Amino acid sequence: MSSNSAVVVGGGIGGLAAAIGLRLAGWEVTVVERAAVLDDAGAGISLAANGMRALAALGVGEAVEAAARRQYTGGTRTPDGRRLAMMDGEALERELGAPIVGIPRAALHRILRQALPTESLVIGAEVTDVDTTDPSRVRVRHGDSTLDAALVVAADGINSRLRRRLFPAHPGPAYSGSTVLRAITERPVDGLTADFELTWGHGAEFGHIAFPDGTAEWHAVLNAPAGVRYRDPLTEVRRRFARWHEPIPALLAATRPEAVLHHDVNVLATPLPSFVAGRIALLGDAAHAMTPHLGQGACQALEDAVTLAAALAGAPSVEGALARYDAARRPRSQTVARDARRAGRMGQQLANPLAVGLRNAAIRLTPPGVMVRTVLKHADWAPPRIAPRAA
Ligand SMILES: Cc1cc2nc3c(=O)[nH]c(=O)nc-3n(C[C@H](O)[C@H](O)[C@H](O)COP(=O)(O)OP(=O)(O)OC[C@H]3O[C@@H](n4cnc5c(N)ncnc54)[C@H](O)[C@@H]3O)c2cc1C
């Protein structure tokens, strides 16, 4: 085992980004992913300026921009179509120095995957345990195999096995109260003028993210008991949102029933006391799974990846670098997670008609742009430089 060998557990957006960053920092990296096919099963994703800056620091910013659509127009509305807040994405891009974009998750995942050598990816391999008894290395077990590494990155998502193993007293994920149905349309949608839009009803939100080819992802987020499932999810969404403004019916009409994904939104409601245990760093949803109400989960995972790589680049000790990573990332990502829950409570989850009316009136009285800036306040982030280790 060399002193710069790293194993990344999990090949999602966070794990792949961490692997790219660590390679830039001079590490030899192996990504171990349990899925037989390395892909991302989600629909679409919105990347704010902080996420785009992290991707640029990883050297894949241009490829992502080329596959994405800039979110210049849109904002929030009420179900009858009345405007609550407008978004001026061009002005935000000028202000933040990077665009907000919408991209199919599969396209983002493919770009990250292609930035890594095939031989660094071990797929169809579920990590079952880590042995941390020797302080100079971590032994990672998958199937009948083991891998020794000077550093392990636990990027194994919200139900992280490594988090449970390293922080057995932590209660783990909790249901947020919202369930989400989403899909990508099978064809371009007529009349889709806004790049990005959110519509708030009572305890329900409908949003879309448009892609360069005129298709779009839509998501319907509903207050619901944990575990609720519908026999025919698309019919249920069409029923619930039948009277909502265009292009919502058009988006649903352009969707195949089998394209609809349905997940409960779980979060790490209890913040972790550390993102580090010995030579293991937690990253992405494994460290700080948050509600999607600010569109920041993946952006925070990308920030983690760049910050971790920068901390380790040229560092004399892994332990010291991981302590700096924890200090830089834990307060920020946990603040974003807390704000995302608040945004959900004041936005999608608000169900009381009086409270909804008051909220909408308050938003209409807010000067243009202020509301969008509040939602995007975490987008203003500059990546640290990843300086490669001297040979
Ligand atoms: C509805 C919804 C909408 C969202 N929209 C946005 C958005 O617009 N913008 C944004 O920034 N974020 C968004 N997010 C959040 C974002 O999707 C997540 O934060 C992000 O995908 C987390 O990436 P990750 O790599 O940490 O975890 P994951 O994507 O969950 O990846 C974990 C990987 O680890 C693998 N794995 C797990 N256990 C093991 C094991 N034992 N061994 C090997 N492999 C293992 C899994 O198979 C998986 O591939 C949204 C989330 C939801 C639910």
**What are 40-72's pLDDT values in tens digits?**
777 999 999 999 999 999 999 999 999 999 999
Determine how many CB atoms are found less than 10 A away from the CB of residue 243: 10
Single out the residue of 42, 49, 55 nearest to residue 157, CA to CA: 42
pLDDT-derived band at 89 (thresholds 50, 70, 90) equals confident
Q: Is 35 in the pocket of ligand 1 (CB under 6 A)?
A: yes
pLDDT digits 0-9 by tens, 339-366? 999 999 998 899 999 999 999 999 888 8
| Joined tokens for residue 91 | 């002005």
Number of the ligand 1 atom closest to the C-alpha atom of 286: 26
d(Cα 13, Cα 15) in Å, to the nearest integer?
6
Number of the ligand 1 atom closest to the C-alpha atom of 127: 42
pLDDT digits 0-9 by tens, 101-159? 999 999 999 999 999 999 999 999 999 999 999 999 999 999 999 999 999 999 999 99
pLDDT-derived band at 205 (thresholds 50, 70, 90) equals very high
Q: Is 291 in the pocket of ligand 1 (CB under 6 A)?
A: no
End-to-end CA separation in angstroms for the chain: 17
pLDDT digits 0-9 by tens, 163-195? 999 999 999 999 999 999 999 999 999 889 999
pLDDT score at 390 = 57
Sheet with 174-184, edge to edge strand ranges: 83-86, 74-77, 196-200, 204-210, 216-223, 174-184, 261-267
* Closest protein CA for atom 9 of ligand 1: 295
Average pLDDT of the chain? 94
pLDDT score at 389 = 61
| Joined tokens for residue 372 | 């969008």
Q: Is 209 in the pocket of ligand 1 (CB under 6 A)?
A: no
State the average pLDDT over residues 14-22: 98
Determine how many CB atoms are found less than 10 A away from the CB of residue 341: 18
Burial environment of residue 29 by CB neighbours within 10 A (0 to 12, 13 to 18, 19 or more)? buried
* Closest protein CA for atom 27 of ligand 1: 157
Domains within the chain, CATH numbers bracketed: 5-69+101-174+267-345 (3.50.50.60)
Q: Is 126 in the pocket of ligand 1 (CB under 6 A)?
A: yes
pLDDT score at 58 = 98
Q: Is 217 in the pocket of ligand 1 (CB under 6 A)?
A: no
C-alpha distances in angstroms, 119 versus 30, 32, 114, 293? 8, 11, 11, 37
d(Cα 360, Cα 380) in Å, to the nearest integer?
26
pLDDT score at 371 = 72
Instruction: Show Cβ contacts of residue 286 under 8 Å, excluding neighbours closer than 6 positions.
Output: 10, 14, 154, 155, 156, 157, 158, 160, 162, 163
State the average pLDDT over residues 220-242: 96
Q: Is 12 in the pocket of ligand 1 (CB under 6 A)?
A: yes
Q: Is 123 in the pocket of ligand 1 (CB under 6 A)?
A: no
